[in-house]
Amino acid sequence: MNWPVLSLADSSLIARPLAPNHRVVCAAPAYLREHGEPAHPADLIRHRCIVIGDSPGAEWRFIGDEPVNVRIDAGLVSNDGGVVLAWALAGAGIALKSIWDVGNDLAADRLRRVLPDYAVAAAPLHAIYPHSAHLAPRVRAFVDYLRERLQAAWRWESPPGA
């Protein structure tokens, strides 16, 4: 698999791609029944969005022929991805999550993909470490192990445009 190379501010660091990681906008079917489903990213401003971070303000960037940036004023905020997932599953709002976090819930219809025609920039998983000339053999072996295990676990197709 080929993934984009991560640009690092400190050029003495190495970023080795481990696995793809696209992100999806999703919500519980109960939330969508009660509040409707946005047809365009700009519609998100009329929905309760759940943001991962420390601030209720966030910008969700959708890529494609015409990129769209939406300023989100979160109804709920947490810096814990597990809490954000629990809130989304409980029908508390719309969340932007990694496919690794929500893939099983999407497959089981506990969550539904929102705005499927609009891709969000991917965030591939990388191992970041000092220049490989100084890398301990056990660290190299661990990174190789992680890459192998994550590639074996990958089971989702990337959405169009991601």
* Least confident residue range of 1-10, 89-98, 117-126, 140-149: 1-10
DSSP H/E element including 150: helix 137-153
Counting DSSP H helices and E strands in the chain, the numbers are 4, 10
pTM score: 0.81
Under the banding of pLDDT at 50, 70 and 90, the label for residue 160 is: low
Question: Is pLDDT of 134 > 80?
Answer: no
What values do phi and psi take at 95, rounded to 5? -125, 155
Question: Is pLDDT of 135 > 80?
Answer: no
- Beta bridge mates, 62: 68, 120
Under the banding of pLDDT at 50, 70 and 90, the label for residue 98 is: very high
Q: Do the Cβ atoms of 24 and 99 come closer than 8 Å? A: yes
DSSP string for 62-122: EESSS-EEEEEE-SEEES-HHHHHHHHHTTS-EEEEEHHHHHHHHHTTSSEEESTTSEE--
Task: List the CATH code of the domain at 20-162.
Answer: 3.40.190.290
pLDDT in tens, 1-54: 444 445 556 567 888 889 888 899 999 999 999 999 999 999 999 999 999 988
pLDDT of residue 83: 96
